[in-house]
Amino acid sequence: MGARNGQQFIDGLKARPREVWINGERIEDVTTHPAFSRIVAQLARLYDAQCDPATQDKLTYIVPETGERAGMAFMPAKDAGDLRRRRDAFYHWASMNFGLMGRSPDFLNTSLLAFAEASEVFGRGGQRFADNIVNYYKYIRDNDLFLSHALLAPQNDRTKSSAEQQNLHMRVVRETEEGIYVSGARMVATLGAVADEMLMYCLPGIPESDADHALAFAVKVSDPGVRQICREPYTLDGQRSDFDHPLSNNFEENDSLLIFDDVFVPWERVFMYRDVALNNALYTETALRNYTAHQTNTRALVKMQFAVGVAMAVARSIGADKFLHVQRMLGEALNSVEFLKSGLVRSEVECEATGHGTVRPALAPLQALRTFLPAAYPKVVEIIQTVAAGGFMMMPSGADFTVPELSEDTSLYYQGAGGMSSLDRVRLFKMAWDLAGEAFGTRLLQYERYYAGDPVRTTASNYLQVKDEEMMRLVNEALALAGDPEPAPRASAK
Ligand SMILES: Cc1cc2nc3c(=O)[nH]c(=O)nc-3n(C[C@H](O)[C@H](O)[C@H](O)COP(=O)(O)OP(=O)(O)OC[C@H]3O[C@@H](n4cnc5c(N)ncnc54)[C@H](O)[C@@H]3O)c2cc1C
C-alpha cells in the first residue's frame, strides 16, 4: 500500500471497531465522537501531507525493496545527511501542530526502526523473534499503520514488583502452539483510542521475579479482549468555541488505561518472551533512545519555539517586554531554543555506525536535551503565567464581542500596548491561557515532564552511563600539578 492519506487513515479506523470507553460511554465510532473527531482530523492532515506533491518528498522516501513510498521515520540513515532529512520530516509534521502533538505517528515508527535494525538483540531469545520484529517493521511501514504504546505497569504500589501485584499488571497467562494469552493492565496509551495497533514492550529495570511481564509483542487495537478506558476529555468538539480554545479544541491527545482481557497474540507477533535480561538490555543495546529522542527533541524544538513566541507576544502586548527582569526571563527562555537546535545538529554530525551499514544519531546530546526539557518547558510556561499575570483573568469570552450592548466596552477596555486592538489582545491571551493555564496546557506540561520516563531516574542515568574519559583526564592532569606532599619550606632555610 505505501504511505497513506488522511481518508485512508480514517477508513482504517472505521474498519477496526474497538472497545473504547470515555465518560462512562462505550464509543461506537472514534472518528466521529466529539472527544476524538478533531484529533483524528489533525492526524488525517499529517497523513495527507505525506501524499501532497508539495511535501511528499520531504515526508516520505521510496523503499528500495517495494518501490513504494513510506514515511520518513521508517528510513534507515546511511549518513548524517539522511539524519538531517529525517529531522526535516519530523519538524514539518510537528510544525503543523505547533509541536503540541507528542504522539504523532512518526514517534513510534522510529522505535520500530530501532528495533528492526537491532534484530539480533531480539534474536538472543531465538531467531524467530529476530525475524518477527523485522517482519513487523515491514508490515507497519508498508501499510503505514499508526502505533500507540503503554510501557508501564499501572501506578498501584510502586514499592512492589509486578509479580507481587500479579492480578493487576499485564503478563502472560498461558501459551499454546499458536501463541500466547495476556491479561492485565498497562498505562498510559496516548492516542491509543485512535491508533491501529499497540506495540508493547516494557521499561528496563524489572526484577527476575517479573519474567511473566518481560514481553514484547504487538496487537491490533481491535483485537478481542483489548479494552481502553480513557481519561476525562478536556474538550469535546462543539462545546467550546475555537476563539476561546484554539489549541485544546484541535490538539487534545487523549490518554487511556490499556486493559488486556485474555488477549491472544500469535507467535509471529511476539518479539520477546519471558526474558528479563533482554528486557533490561533493550534500551541500551538497541538505538531506541537515539531514534526516539531525535524525533521527540525535534518536536520539542517546535513546541519550545511556539511557547517562547507566545511568551514574547504576551509581554509585547502589554509593554512588559520593556522591563529588565522580563527581558531576562525571555532571554533565558530563548536559550532553550538554541540548546535544542544545537543538540540536534550535534547528534547528527557525531552520528554513530550501527554495524548494519547505517548510522544513528549520537545519544549523549539527545539525552541531555531530554533530561533538560522536564525543567525547561515548565519554566517557559511559568514565564507566560508570570508575564500575563492577572490579565488572564480579565479576559471575556469571544461571544462577548458579538453582543452589541457590550461593543463599546469590549473594544475599549481590552486593548493592548502600541495600539493593539482589544480583539487581537483577547485572541492572544485566550490562546496563551489554553497553552499555559487550561487542563490541556497542564497536560502538555506534564507530558514534557514525564513522557520519556521519570526525569529523576533518566537524569541520574546520564551520570550512571557517563563517558568520562576527557573529564577525568583533565582532573588527573591538574592533580599531577600537585604531585606528592613535601615538607613545608622553612623560613630559616633562606
Ligand atoms: C501526558 C503523558 C502522556 C504519556 N503518554 C505515554 C504513552 O503514550 N505511552 C507510555 O508508555 N507512557 C506514557 N506516559 C507515561 C510515562 O512514561 C510515565 O508517566 C513516566 O514513565 C513516569 O512513570 P509514572 O507516571 O508511573 O510515575 P512513577 O514511576 O509512579 O513515579 C511517581 C513518583 O515516584 C517517584 N518514584 C517512583 N518509583 C521510584 C523509584 N523506584 N525510585 C525513585 N523514585 C521513584 C518518581 O520520581 C515520581 O516522583 C505518559 C505520561 C504523561 C504524563
Contacts of 262 by beta carbon, 8 Å cutoff, 6+ apart: 173, 181, 182, 183, 225
Asked if residue 332 has its Cβ within 6 Å of ligand 1, the reply is no
Task: Assess whether pLDDT exceeds 70 at residue 258.
Answer: yes
Mean pLDDT over residues 438-464, rounded?
Answer: 94
User: Residue 492's CB: how many other CB atoms inside 10 A?
Assistant: 5
Task: List pLDDT tens digits, range 261-282.
Answer: 999 999 999 999 999 999 999 9
317, 425 Cβ separation under 8 angstroms: yes
Specify the ligand 1 atom closest to the Cα of 449. 53
Specify the ligand 1 atom closest to the Cα of 453. 21
What is the pLDDT at residue 1? 84
What is the pLDDT at residue 411? 96
Probe ligand 1: pick from 101, 106, 147, 152, max atoms within 8 Å of CB? 152
The distance in angstroms from the start CA to the end CA of the chain is: 91
Determine which residue's CA is closest to atom 4 belonging to ligand 1. Answer: 451
pLDDT confidence tier of residue 326, bands split at 50, 70 and 90: very high
Asked if residue 196 has its Cβ within 6 Å of ligand 1, the reply is no
- CB-count exposure of residue 412 (10 Å: 0-12, 13-18, 19+): exposed
Determine which residue's CA is closest to atom 1 belonging to ligand 1. Answer: 447
Asked if residue 443 has its Cβ within 6 Å of ligand 1, the reply is yes
Asked if residue 401 has its Cβ within 6 Å of ligand 1, the reply is no
Angle (CA) 397 444 387, round 5°: 60
Tell me how far apart the alpha carbons of residues 139 and 145 are, in angstroms, rounded to a whole number: 8
Asked if residue 103 has its Cβ within 6 Å of ligand 1, the reply is yes
Unique residue bearing C-alpha cell 469590549: 410
What is the pLDDT at residue 492? 65
Mean pLDDT over residues 335-361, rounded?
Answer: 96
Strands (E), 214-316: 215-220, 226-230, 255-266, 270-273
What is the pLDDT at residue 489? 84
Question: Could you give all domains of the chain from N- to C-terminal order, each with its CATH number?
Answer: 6-282 (2.40.110.10), 287-466 (1.20.140.10)
Ligand 1: centre distance to CA 459 (Å): 14
Asked if residue 188 has its Cβ within 6 Å of ligand 1, the reply is yes
Asked if residue 447 has its Cβ within 6 Å of ligand 1, the reply is yes
244, 392 Cβ separation under 8 angstroms: no
Cell triple for 349? 554530525
- Dihedral sign for Cα 83, 89, 91, 97, please: negative
Lowest mean pLDDT among 152-161, 297-306, 318-327: 152-161
Task: List pLDDT tens digits, range 375-398.
Answer: 999 999 999 999 999 999 999 999
Strand partners, 190: 255
Determine which residue's CA is closest to atom 29 belonging to ligand 1. Answer: 454
Asked if residue 456 has its Cβ within 6 Å of ligand 1, the reply is yes
Ligand 1: centre distance to CA 69 (Å): 36
Distances (CA, A) of 294 to 107, 290, 340: 9, 6, 11
113, 137 Cβ separation under 8 angstroms: yes
What is the pLDDT at residue 312? 98
238, 20 Cβ separation under 8 angstroms: no
311, 387 Cβ separation under 8 angstroms: yes
Task: List pLDDT tens digits, range 287-322.
Answer: 999 999 999 999 999 999 999 999 999 999 999 999
Task: Assess whether pLDDT exceeds 60 at residue 493.
Answer: no
Crossing angle of the two packed helices 288-317 and 276-285, in degrees rounded to 10: 60
pLDDT confidence tier of residue 490, bands split at 50, 70 and 90: confident
Task: Assess whether pLDDT exceeds 60 at residue 494.
Answer: no
334, 58 Cβ separation under 8 angstroms: no
Q: DSSP letter string over 417-484?
A: GGG--HHHHHHHHHHHHHHHTSHHHHHHHHHHHHTTS-HHHHHHHHHHT---HHHHHHHHHHHHHH-S
Q: What's the mean pLDDT when you consider all of the chain?
A: 96
Task: Assess whether pLDDT exceeds 80 at residue 28.
Answer: yes
Ligand 1: centre distance to CA 454 (Å): 5
What is the pLDDT at residue 221? 98
Mean pLDDT over residues 350-376, rounded?
Answer: 95
Ligand 1: centre distance to CA 188 (Å): 9
3-state secondary structure of 403: coil
359, 78 Cβ separation under 8 angstroms: yes
Ligand 1: centre distance to CA 194 (Å): 22
Asked if residue 442 has its Cβ within 6 Å of ligand 1, the reply is no
Asked if residue 446 has its Cβ within 6 Å of ligand 1, the reply is yes
Ligand 1: centre distance to CA 227 (Å): 21
Tell me how far apart the alpha carbons of residues 480 and 450 are, in angstroms, rounded to a whole number: 43
Asked if residue 189 has its Cβ within 6 Å of ligand 1, the reply is yes
Tell me how far apart the alpha carbons of residues 482 and 494 are, in angstroms, rounded to a whole number: 23
Q: With the CA atoms of 23, 27, 31 and 34 taken in that order, what torsion angle do they form, in degrees rounded to the nearest 10?
A: -30
Asked if residue 149 has its Cβ within 6 Å of ligand 1, the reply is yes
Tell me how far apart the alpha carbons of residues 38 and 238 are, in angstroms, rounded to a whole number: 10
What is the pLDDT at residue 291? 97
Q: What share of the chain is helix, strand, coil (3-state, %, to 5)?
A: 55, 15, 30
The pTM score is 0.96
Task: List pLDDT tens digits, range 47-86.
Answer: 999 999 999 999 999 999 999 999 999 999 999 999 999 9
pLDDT confidence tier of residue 144, bands split at 50, 70 and 90: very high
Q: DSSP letter string over 48-114?
A: HHHH-TTTHHHHEEE-TTT--EEEGGGPPBSSHHHHHHHHHHHHHHHHTTTT--TT-THHHHHHHHH
Cell triple for 413? 477596555
Specify the ligand 1 atom closest to the Cα of 189. 8
Determine which residue's CA is closest to atom 46 belonging to ligand 1. Answer: 454
Tell me how far apart the alpha carbons of residues 466 and 354 are, in angstroms, rounded to a whole number: 20
What is the pLDDT at residue 166? 74
Asked if residue 252 has its Cβ within 6 Å of ligand 1, the reply is no
Ligand 1: centre distance to CA 466 (Å): 23
Asked if residue 62 has its Cβ within 6 Å of ligand 1, the reply is no
Tell me how far apart the alpha carbons of residues 393 and 155 are, in angstroms, rounded to a whole number: 35
Mean pLDDT over residues 128-135, rounded?
Answer: 98
Task: List pLDDT tens digits, range 186-208.
Answer: 999 999 999 999 999 999 999 99
Tell me how far apart the alpha carbons of residues 123 and 125 are, in angstroms, rounded to a whole number: 5
